[in-house]
Amino acid sequence: MTGVLSTDNPDPTSRRQCELMADVGLMPTDLCPWNAYPGAFDAKTDGSLGVEHIARGAVVLGEVIDLMQNLHFLLLQGEQTRWA
């Protein structure tokens, strides 16, 4: 695990995402990957997020979305992101 959210990671998920993006003509620069909570990994909780973290991350995500003038769609990945 690299600790970085990127399609350049050396793992099967990143490789598959790149394949699917290529199939529909998307480049990594067309995307803005975002975790449910954009912060450092907390080793004390094994990376799991509580309701407070997710709620704070959702507020920040809303602010970032407001800045994206050419946003066409969102791809939500993972249970915590869907909740946020």
Do residues 58 and 82 lie in contact, with contact meaning Cβ atoms separated by under 8 Å? no
- The C-alpha atoms of residue 77 and residue 35 are separated, in whole angstroms, by 8
Domain ranges of the chain: 12-83
Enter the pTM of the model: 0.60
Paired tokens of 7: 């399609």
Quote the distance between the C-alpha of residue 19 and its chain's center: 17
Question: Could you read off the pLDDT of 22-33 as tens digits, one per residue?
Answer: 999 998 888 887
What percent of the chain has a predicted confidence (pLDDT) above 70? 73
Positive/negative CA dihedral, 49, 53, 6, 41: negative
Q: Per-10-residue mean pLDDT for the chain, 84 residues long?
A: 77 89 89 70 66 82 89 75 70
pLDDT of residue 41: 57
